[in-house]
């Protein structure tokens, strides 16, 4: 029986990559085809969104949409802008502009740390493509709101509010919200935002990581003294485990911090995280990770396509700052991830999957939330990875 199970396990680990290899097409053609597909698929998605809501997932045959203050509210508009950039489809642009209007009130929201996800992935891409000053003003106001969550004693931006579980929690996801702060400071805004970003990144560097470059999910601090109360993993398998999407946030975050600062310490950290991910014995052959690198039941554990898409996008940028065999390694890994995600193992058919592009993501497995479903941010980082590959490698 053990031999049979082992054989099945090997088959599962290699199944997605095998499909990708047999169906492989030139990357330029794949990217072009994917954005054309996204135009039609997102028209399906658009029909499932009630007025004033933003799409999150599709579960049990029904669309799931959330209030604009949900942390994922900016990914839909951001995805539309990526699609419009590549296709110039007028209907997609119109829907992107409509989606911006829905979330615009978030610019003054101070209830959590997710303003970067909400407002830079959306309005940041909109401003990049249109240059409209009103979009830039929204980004600047959003950075001001996010800065209110900076805690000088902790030297970090507080992620979640105080609760029975946490005093002053800071999660690794918060690295992603620093991009908006850096950008505003570098584009005529208050310089304090970038200063806060650097301080926050340095604190996370000190407290969030283990010697092997893997990251805890949450570090809880004493808000008065800045002392670490505990280190934990809320969405991962255990406090000692490496939650896959968290490793992706860390990889992307320090790569991005190097882009804005050219601090070699950040580049070293990003490369260390990349090597941890790519050399991990539990990374499947198709390079789409299980929801946690230490998940119980590997290789039968659920995958997380959102982590794979996020990692692919980050690796493509990291490849821009490296050379030789390291650059080749990062680009090659990202290519494998893209080919895997574009295969039938993870990619939806037109009109199916509630209009989302990718299947098989995992939101929060320990909370029994969003398991083996499409997620809007998986689509966003997949589209970003495609756009980055076209820009930098074709």
Binding residues for substrate, as ranges, are 114, 173, 233, 245, 249
Based on the residue annotation, tell me whether 173 is a catalytic residue of this protein: yes
Residue 369 DSSP class: E
Is 114 tagged catalytic?
A: yes
B/e letters for 71-89, b = 16+ CB within 10 Å, e = fewer, are bbbbbbbbbbbbbbbbbeb
**Burial (CB count within 10 angstroms: exposed 0-12, middle 13-18, buried 19+), residue 263:** middle
Identify the CA nearest to 75 among candidates 278, 303, 313: 313
Q: How far apart are CA 298 and CA 210, in angstroms?
A: 22
Q: Would you say 149 and 111 are in contact if contact means Cβ atoms under 8 Å apart? A: no
Q: Is 351 left (phi over 0), alpha (psi -120 to 50) or beta?
A: left
- Name the burial class of residue 202, with classes exposed (0-12), middle (13-18) and buried (19+) by CB atoms within 10 angstroms of its CB: middle
Q: Which residues are annotated as a binding site?
A: 114, 173, 233, 245, 249
Which of 33, 40, 67, 114 is catalytic? The answer is 114
Cβ distance 293 to 361 under 8 Å?
A: no
Bond from prior residue into 299 cis (ω within 30 degrees of 0): yes
Beta carbons within 8 Å of 115's beta carbon, 6+ residues apart: 106, 107, 109, 142, 143, 145, 146, 177, 180
Catalytic residue, candidates 33, 40, 67, 173: 173
Q: What is the spatial distance between Cα 331 and Cα 389, in angstroms, rounded to a whole number?
A: 9
Q: What residues act catalytically?
A: 114, 173
């Amino acid at each position: 029986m053990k031999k049979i199970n082992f054989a099945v396990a090997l088959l599962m680990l290699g199944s997605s990559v095998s499909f990708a290899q047999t169906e492989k097409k030139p990357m330029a053609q794949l990217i072009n085809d994917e954005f054309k597909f996204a135009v039609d698929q997102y028209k399906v998605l658009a029909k499932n969104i009630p007025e004033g809501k933003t799409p999150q997932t599709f579960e049990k045959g029904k669309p799931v949409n959330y209030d604009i203050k949900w942390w994922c509210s900016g990914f839909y508009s951001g995805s539309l802008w990526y699609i419009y950039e590549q296709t110039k489809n007028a209907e997609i642009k119109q829907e992107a502009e409509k989606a911006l209007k829905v979330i615009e009130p978030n610019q003054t929201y101070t209830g959590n740390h997710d303003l970067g996800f909400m407002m830079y992935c959306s309005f940041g891409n909109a401003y990049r493509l249109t240059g409209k000053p009103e979009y830039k003003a929204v980004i600047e106001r959003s950075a001001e709101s996010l800065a209110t969550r900076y805690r000088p004693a902790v030297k970090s931006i507080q992620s979640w509010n105080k609760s029975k579980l946490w005093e002053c929690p800071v999660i690794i996801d918060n690295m992603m919200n620093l991009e908006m702060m850096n950008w505003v400071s570098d584009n005529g805004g208050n310089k304090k935002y970038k200063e806060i970003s650097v301080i926050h990144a340095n604190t996370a560097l000190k407290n969030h990581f283990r010697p092997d470059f893997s990251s805890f999910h949450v570090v809880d601090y004493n808000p008065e003294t800045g002392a670490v109360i505990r280190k934990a993993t809320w969405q991962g398998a255990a406090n000692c485990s490496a939650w896959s999407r968290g490793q992706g946030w860390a990889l992307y975050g320090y790569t991005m911090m190097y882009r804005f600062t050219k601090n070699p310490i950040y580049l070293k950290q990003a490369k260390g995280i990349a090597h941890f991910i790519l050399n991990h014995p539990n990374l499947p052959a198709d390079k789409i990770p299980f929801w946690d690198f230490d998940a119980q039941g590997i290789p039968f554990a659920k995958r997380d396509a959102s982590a794979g898409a996020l990692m692919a996008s980050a690796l493509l940028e990291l490849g821009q700052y490296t050379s030789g065999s390291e650059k080749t390694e990062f680009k090659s890994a990202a290519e494998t991830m893209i080919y895997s995600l574009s295969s039938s193992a993870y990619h939806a058919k037109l009109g199916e999957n509630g209009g989302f592009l990718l299947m098989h993501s995992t939101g929060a497995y320990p909370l029994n939330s969003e398991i083996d479903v499409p997620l809007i941010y998986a689509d966003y980082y997949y589209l970003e990875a495609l756009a980055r590959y076209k820009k930098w490698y074709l």
